[in-house]
């Protein structure tokens, strides 16, 4: 019986210590259990995204673009746009790199498409990307999404640099 009383006393003391901690801490003590990695600054996220963009890609990956049909090329651009935009649902992902953007642009520019408008849509999307300008990513995603008759997952905004970096790390690292 004495063992149970001693155990009960120890548990009671520990409960009091925990209670005092929660009472005195500004956040209710939740930081201890919920804290993940420290968030990166916008500048740090932008630097890491730039480094990711400049990462060389195997010529095998980009050589595959030459054998893709029109719809596969459209899907590749759609998958790449997911890295840059917020949408309720995203199916498919392909990392955006300088090598891939340049190769896609060249392949599309030199390919005969069944529909000239599809070729022009992709060139309009990719041309700014070849200059590291992704400000068109929401409209790019939604043009492709509409072309594919999407009804779930419309892009609503650009991701913040921190959100994009998180997406890159989750999907590609």
- pLDDT tens track for 66-113: 999 999 999 999 999 999 999 999 999 999 999 999 999 999 999 999
At 38 the three-state DSSP class reads coil
| pLDDT for position 29 | 43
Q: How far apart are CA 62 and CA 169, in angstroms?
A: 21
pLDDT of residue 60: 84
Give the separation between CA 86 and CA 105, rounded to whole angstroms: 24
Q: Give the residues of the chain that fall short of pLDDT 50.
A: 18, 20, 22, 25-36
First to last CA, the chain: 56
- To which residue do tokens 């003590």 refer? 29
Could you tell me if 95 and 84 are in contact, meaning their C-beta atoms sit under 8 angstroms apart?
Answer: no
Q: Which residues pair with 155 in a beta bridge?
A: 87
């Amino acid at each position: 019986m004495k063992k149970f009383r001693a155990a009960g006393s120890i548990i009671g003391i520990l409960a009091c210590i925990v209670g005092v901690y929660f009472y005195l801490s500004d956040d209710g003590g939740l930081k201890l259990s919920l804290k993940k990695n420290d968030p990166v600054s916008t500048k740090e996220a932008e630097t890491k995204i730039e480094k990711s963009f400049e990462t060389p890609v195997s010529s095998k990956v980009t050589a595959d673009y030459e054998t893709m049909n029109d719809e596969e090329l459209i899907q590749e651009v759609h998958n790449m746009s997911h890295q840059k935009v917020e949408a309720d649902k995203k199916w498919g992902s392909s990392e955006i790199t300088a090598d891939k953007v340049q190769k896609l642009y060249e392949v599309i520019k030199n390919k005969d498409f069944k529909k000239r408008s599809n070729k022009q849509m992709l060139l309009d999307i990719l041309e700014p990307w070849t200059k590291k300008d992704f400000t068109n990513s929401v409209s790019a995603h939604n043009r492709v999404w509409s072309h594919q008759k999407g009804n779930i997952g419309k892009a609503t905004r650009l991701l913040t640099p921190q959100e994009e970096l998180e997406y890159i790390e989750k999907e590609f690292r």
